[in-house]
């Protein structure tokens, strides 16, 4: 049984059933693709993600900032024990890439979400000094 999952006002339609995903034009031309339950779930998730990105473009930039932050953390871990100049170059490159993203506030929020907890843990474990530093 083919159940319609989408019907466009112009007559286009998408149906699912019998292991097939079928798209029909308003003229009745059909294209069918085999699809199972896992494929339907993946397709549904991808469609929801794209719909959310279209409704809220800032969200995609927040995610892009988060990815940059995660990439920076991965690079810094890989650079542990190497000269600080390499780590500073990695930070510079990620901040430069972050500054070029649209919706900067959203992108910066995503970047911060990726790195703040790690920075807090690192600062907490710094050596403690009493009195004036030389």
pLDDT in tens, 102-132: 899 999 999 999 999 888 887 777 777 777 7
Rounded to two decimals, the pTM is 0.58
3-class DSSP string for the chain: CCEEEEECCCCCEEEEECCEEEEECCCCCEEEEECCHHHHHHHHHHHHHHHHHHHCHHHHHHHHHHHHHHHHHHHHHHCCCCCHHHHHHHHHHHHHHHHCCCCHHHHHHHHHHHHHHHHHHHHHCCCCCCCCCC
Task: Summarize pLDDT for 84-98 with one digit per residue, the tens.
Answer: 999 999 999 999 999
């Amino acid at each position: 049984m083919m159940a319609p999952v989408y019907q466009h006002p112009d007559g286009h339609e998408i149906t699912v059933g019998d292991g097939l995903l079928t798209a029909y034009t308003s003229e009745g031309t059909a294209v069918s693709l085999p699809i199972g339950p896992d494929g339907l779930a993946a397709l549904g998730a991808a469609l929801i993600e794209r719909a959310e990105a279209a409704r809220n473009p800032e969200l995609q930039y927040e995610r892009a900032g988060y990815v940059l932050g995660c990439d920076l953390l991965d690079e810094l871990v890989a650079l542990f024990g190497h000269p600080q100049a390499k780590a500073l170059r990695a930070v510079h490159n990620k901040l430069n890439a972050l500054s070029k993203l649209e919706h900067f506030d959203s992108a910066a929020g995503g970047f911060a979400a990726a790195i703040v907890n790690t920075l807090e843990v690192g600062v907490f474990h710094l050596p403690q000094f009493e009195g004036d530093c030389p």
